[in-house]
């Protein structure tokens, strides 16, 4: 059996291998490693979620629940379907999350007086307290992630990301609602 140099093998595995974009790949769509904007957006989102979860762990709050609380803090009382759309979760998936949030006293379901099948979701004082307490730390974490990025570059970033959002909304033809 041939001997292998384990440190050389480890170094080879650890070093990122640049992916050359084939000629048919648009340089506007792929970066120098073959990643797309959605790929990078997902990667950044997952990194933010992981950092945010460490902050939310102080209150035993899963990141998925934070999104509901955040939308309710911004929007006030909304119906369950709209809340689900704004969080980007199927309304059936929202039911167990809202059950848990309600059990914890963070939100309250209120039956729609005009349609008994529908419910409005209302942020309770304890839910507002959590948002008020956690939001500054989450905002600070996000701010720290922008270290080394100039104000000018951030203006360009916002212009670009808002244009991408507008393009995607136009492509969706109004069938998507997000905050």
**Confidence label for 172 from pLDDT (cuts 50, 70 and 90):** confident
Residue 17 counted as domain residue: no
Q: Once rounded to an integer, what is the mean pLDDT over residues 113-124?
A: 89
Residue 66 counted as domain residue: yes
**Confidence label for 114 from pLDDT (cuts 50, 70 and 90):** confident
Residue 172 counted as domain residue: no
For residue 67, list its beta bridge partners: none
Q: Once rounded to an integer, what is the mean pLDDT over residues 94-109?
A: 94
Residue 22 counted as domain residue: no
Determine the pLDDT at residue 7. Answer: 44
Determine the pLDDT at residue 166. Answer: 92
pLDDT (tens digit per residue) in 129-167:
999 999 999 999 999 999 999 999 999 999 999 999 999
* Residue range of the domain that includes 109: 35-139
Determine the pLDDT at residue 8. Answer: 45
Residue 5 has pLDDT above 60, yes or no: no
Q: By the 8 A CB rule, do 74 and 179 touch? A: yes
**Confidence label for 9 from pLDDT (cuts 50, 70 and 90):** very low
- Is pLDDT larger for residue 29 or for residue 26? 29
Residue 43 counted as domain residue: yes
Q: What's this model's pTM, rounded to 2 decimal places?
A: 0.76
Determine the pLDDT at residue 119. Answer: 87
Residue 2 has pLDDT above 80, yes or no: no
**Confidence label for 25 from pLDDT (cuts 50, 70 and 90):** low
pLDDT (tens digit per residue) in 41-96:
999 999 999 999 999 999 999 999 999 999 999 999 999 889 998 998 888 888 99
Residue 134 counted as domain residue: yes
Q: What is the CATH number of the domain that holds 106?
A: 1.10.10.10
Residue 129 counted as domain residue: yes
What SS3 string covers the chain? CCCCCHHHHHHHHHCCCCCCCCCCCCCCCECCCCCEHHHHHHHHHHHHHHHHHHHHHHHCCCHHHHHHHHHHHHHCCEEHHHHHHHHCCCHHHHHHHHHHHHHCCCEEEEEECCEEEEEEEEECHHHHHHHHHHHHHHHHHHHHHCCCCCHHHHHHHHHHHHHHHHHHHHHHCCCCCCC
Residue 128 counted as domain residue: yes
Determine the pLDDT at residue 3. Answer: 47
Q: How many domains is the chain built from?
A: 1
């Amino acid at each position: 059996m041939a001997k292998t140099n384990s440190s050389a093998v480890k170094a080879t595995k650890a070093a990122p291998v640049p992916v050359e974009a084939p000629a048919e790949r648009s340089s506007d769509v792929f970066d120098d490693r073959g990643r797309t904007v959605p790929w990078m957006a997902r990667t950044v989102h997952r990194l933010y979620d992981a950092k945010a979860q460490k902050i939310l762990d102080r209150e035993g709050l899963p990141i998925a629940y934070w999104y509901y609380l955040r939308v309710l803090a911004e929007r006030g009382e909304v119906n369950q379907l709209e809340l689900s759309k704004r969080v980007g979760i199927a309304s059936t998936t929202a039911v167990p999350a809202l059950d848990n949030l309600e059990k914890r006293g963070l939100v309250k379901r209120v039956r729609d007086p005009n349609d008994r099948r529908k419910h409005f979701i209302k942020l309770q004082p304890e839910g507002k307290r959590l948002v008020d307490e956690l939001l500054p730390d989450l905002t600070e974490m996000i701010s720290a992630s922008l270290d080394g990025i100039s104000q000018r570059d951030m203006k360009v970033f916002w212009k670009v990301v808002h244009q991408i959002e507008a393009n995607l909304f136009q492509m969706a033809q109004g069938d998507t609602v997000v905050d």
